[in-house]
Amino acid sequence: MAKASDRDGEDDADRHVARWRDHWIDVDFDDEVEGAVVRMQHLVRHFREAKQRAVAQVGLQAFEYDTLHTLMIRDTPGHASPTDLATDLGVSPAGMTGRLDTLEKAGYVGRTVGKTDRRRVEVEITDAGADIWRQAMAIRGDAEDQVVNVLSKKEQIALNQLLKRMTLSVEAEGEQDH
């Protein structure tokens, strides 16, 4: 039943780390590293599930919302090429075609061939698409606020500084091999 509440101070990650350490005394194992990774995974999973429930309220699936969202927050809001969206979203070109098929059929985006270069496709959001995205936006993010606001503003800033050091190292690393 009440797992976290009766033994207060322990979260799933603590238990995870404890179990793991028991069986792997011989291997290089770092409690803090593993704890941080597991906790971030749990939090992200929570956010993903919360968002899924939220956008479902307006009749969108997670991947539809993600696509519309990525389409809207870019430098040219509401306009993009499939390739750009695919790289931003981290899906394959083939997957992007599928997503756009769904969104186009639902009437949330339109596809037009580029005039100068006819290989290119211009994805453009429709009024209906912008509308439902706005609706989803309005109810989305509450779960995130609720969790992150457990921390004070000061702590949030500290957290972001720590996280950012790591993301910067990841991004720098990713650029080496290209």
Partner DNA sequence: GGACGTTACTTCGCTAGCGAACTATTCGTC
Partner DNA sequence: GACGAATAGTTCGCTAGCGAAGTAACGTCC
Q: In this structure, which amino acid lies at residue 76?
A: T
For residues 25 and 96, the answer to whether their CB atoms sit within 8 Å is no
Q: Is 105 in the site for DNA (CB under 7 A)?
A: no
8 vs 118, beta carbon nearer a second copy:
8
Q: Is 94 in the site for DNA (CB under 7 A)?
A: yes
Q: Is 165 in the site for a second copy (CB under 8 A)?
A: yes
How near is the Cβ of 92 to a second copy at its closest, in Å? Answer: 13
Rule CB under 8 A: which of 138-157 touch a second copy? Answer: 138, 141, 144-151, 153, 155-157
Cα 33 from chain centre: 22
C-alpha angle 114-117-122 in degrees, rounded to nearest 5? 25
Q: Is 36 in the site for a second copy (CB under 8 A)?
A: yes
- The residue from 39, 50, 61, 137 that contacts DNA (CB under 7 A) is 61
How near is the Cβ of 34 to a second copy at its closest, in Å? Answer: 7
User: Could you say which of a second copy, DNA, none residue 152 binds, taking C-beta under 5 to 8 angstroms by partner kind?
Assistant: none
